[in-house]
Amino acid sequence: MEKMMLKKQATGRIRSGYPLLVKGDFVKEPKVAEGTLVELIDSQQKFVAHGYLATQNKGDGWVLSILPNQPINQKFYEGLFHEAEANRAALKADDETTAYRFFNGEGDGLGGLTIDYYADYYVFSWYSVGIYQHQKMILEAFKKAVPSRKGIYQKFRYDTKGATYDSHIFGETAPEPLIVVENGIQYATYLDDGLMTGIFLDQREVREAIREKYSVGKTILNTFSYTGAFSVAAAMGGALETTSVDLANRSLPKTQEQFSVNGIDPATQKIIVMDVFDYFKYAARKELSFDTIVVDPPSFARSKKKTFSVAKDYSQLLEEVIAITNPNGVIVASTNAANVTMEKFEGMIKKAFVNQNSQFEWLESYQLPSDFKLNPQFPEGSYLKVWILRKK
């Protein structure tokens, strides 16, 4: 195995459990193929960790084990999957929830791979050419460790440079839609339809909070609504009426479908295909306002007129939301922008209320649920930030 010497600081960091490797960690810049397994050593040539190299949006590789005698082979991966499954035993036993994250990259000991569970199907997401070099062994390990499953799908979260791969890679193909349940609510998902499946599993607890606490008898506005999952949760929680707004044409049939599968006539709900910034103007003109507003934009978005980024524009977006929230109304402010810390996010919230001359109260906050397991040494993995606020 290739040995690579680490600089002093990186040595300390990795010995204490930090999982990410970056080029600057190495005494000599690595020039090896993507996916190469390496033995990391200190300046005394002593073992520090096993790892693999892979260029991806975060860093240049991941640590696999800090145990010197741990061979990196099929058994190693089987062990990770057994542990991952044991960690989700409560979710697995819960018949009311059949979709969740089964394996969360570095949080479960293997950066560069996530696996989501959808009603007996598993969806692998590969984050680099490097990890994909190990696809065969990892899949074999998975099949051995998790023998009860209907089928396996895969997605690529890196630039495959035009190369195409099958999305369905093992077992049965899933029905379309594949109906999953989450806290008893049904969601229509599609496992072979691009990167997104119809539901963002990391928002499970927020959907539940909206249904349980912020919906009954309320008017709800769901901005950047995608397939309307938050709207469905609100309607199931007894909302008077939901309004879902998304720019994408596909959001209309997708949202109608999410209501229908729960026995709600979509005609009783408002589903609007429109840029949310245009919708805010429309709402102001029509003097519309809402009791609960959900705002969960993409980290970056380019529309015909402008580019939006959470880091730069969230505060202003929130100002528009505050302006059409009823007194005592609730705002569910969410972002998955990894480059925005909780402190910065809270700062943007405060600024928006100050600019609107409006008072508010912090009600509760959410971060990733426990199935999106984190490595405690790598808080950067905690990308989801949600604050629920009451406008005074």
- Contacting residues toward ligand SAH, per CB under 6 A: 200, 203, 224, 226, 229-230, 245-248, 251, 275-277, 296, 298, 301, 303
Sign of CA dihedral 211, 213, 217, 223: negative
Crossing angle between the packed helical segments 251-260 and 229-236, to the nearest 10 degrees? 30
DSSP sequence for 119-154: TTEEEEEE--HHHHTTHHHHHHHHHHH----SEEEE
Pick the closer one to ligand SAH by CB: 43 or 303: 303
Rg, the chain, Cα only: 23
Residue with tokens 């507003």: 293
**Closest approach of ligand SAH to the CB of residue 301, in Å:** 4
285, 306 Cβ separation under 8 angstroms: no
Residue with tokens 């405690």: 376
Pick the closer one to ligand SAH by CB: 145 or 229: 229
Work out the burial of residue 346: count CB atoms within 10 Å of its CB; fewer than 13 is exposed, 13-18 middle, 19 or more buried. middle
**Closest approach of ligand SAH to the CB of residue 388, in Å:** 14
Cis peptide bond prior to 177, omega within 30° of 0: yes
**Closest approach of ligand SAH to the CB of residue 313, in Å:** 10
Pick the closer one to ligand SAH by CB: 67 or 274: 274
Pick the closer one to ligand SAH by CB: 303 or 355: 303
Q: What whole-number distance in Å separates Cα of residue 127 and Cα of residue 112?
A: 5
**Closest approach of ligand SAH to the CB of residue 228, in Å:** 7
Pick the closer one to ligand SAH by CB: 25 or 246: 246
Residue 176's CB: how many other CB atoms inside 10 A?
A: 11
**Closest approach of ligand SAH to the CB of residue 114, in Å:** 17
**Closest approach of ligand SAH to the CB of residue 384, in Å:** 10
Q: Which residues, 6 or more positions from 34, have their beta carbon under 8 angstroms from its beta carbon?
A: 53, 54, 55, 128, 129, 130, 133
Pick the closer one to ligand SAH by CB: 116 or 246: 246
